[in-house]
Amino acid sequence: MINETALLESQTLRGSVLDHTDVLDRVRALSLLPDGMHVTTAMVAAYFDVGLEAIKSLVKDHRAELEANGYRLLTGEELRSFKNLSGIQSRTRSLALFSRRAVLNIAMLLRDSEVARQVRVYLLDTEYLARTQPVENSAPADTASLDDRIDQRITHILGTTVVPMFNALIETSGEHRRELIALRAGVQRIEKRLRQHNARLQRLEGPREDRPLAGVMAAMDAMNGREFEEHVAGLLRRDGCTNVVVQGGGRDRGIDITALTADGRRIVVQCKRFAPHLSITSPDVQKFIGAAKVLHDSDVALFVATCPFTRDALNIAAESGITAVHRGLLEEWSAGATPSVLE
Phi, psi of 277 (to 5 degrees): -85, -5
Q: Going along the chain, which residue ranges are E strands?
A: 38-40, 72-75, 94-99, 242-246, 257-260, 266-272, 300-305, 322-325
- Crossing angle between the packed helical segments 41-48 and 114-132, to the nearest 10 degrees: 80
In this prediction, residue 209 carries a pLDDT of 41
CA distance 72 to 99: 9
Angle among Cα 42, 302, 297 to the nearest 5 degrees reads: 80
- Yes or no: say if 228 and 211 are a contact pair by the CB < 8 Å rule: no
Across 112-132, b (16+ Cβ under 10 Å) vs e yields ebebbbbbbebbbebbeeeee
Percentage of the chain beyond pLDDT 70 is: 70
CA distance 41 to 47: 10
Q: What is the dihedral of CA 251, 257, 262, 264, to 10 degrees?
A: -20
CA distance 44 to 72: 14
CA distance 272 to 249: 14
Q: Which amino acid is at 316?
A: I
Closest CA to 2 of 111, 110, 132: 132
Confidence of residue 27 (pLDDT cuts 50, 70, 90): confident
Average pLDDT, integer, range 157-184: 62
Note the Cα 293 to chain centre separation in Å: 27
- Yes or no: say if 293 and 263 are a contact pair by the CB < 8 Å rule: no
Point out the least confidently predicted range of 51-55, 109-113, 130-134, 326-330: 130-134
Closest CA to 49 of 267, 246, 260: 246
Closest CA to 28 of 11, 1, 49: 49
Higher pLDDT, 327 or 214: 327
Average pLDDT, the chain: 78
Average pLDDT, integer, range 250-275: 85
Helix (H, G, I), strand (E, B) or coil at 97: strand
What does the pLDDT look like over 118-162, one tens digit per residue? 888 888 776 655 555 554 444 444 444 445 555 555 655 555 556
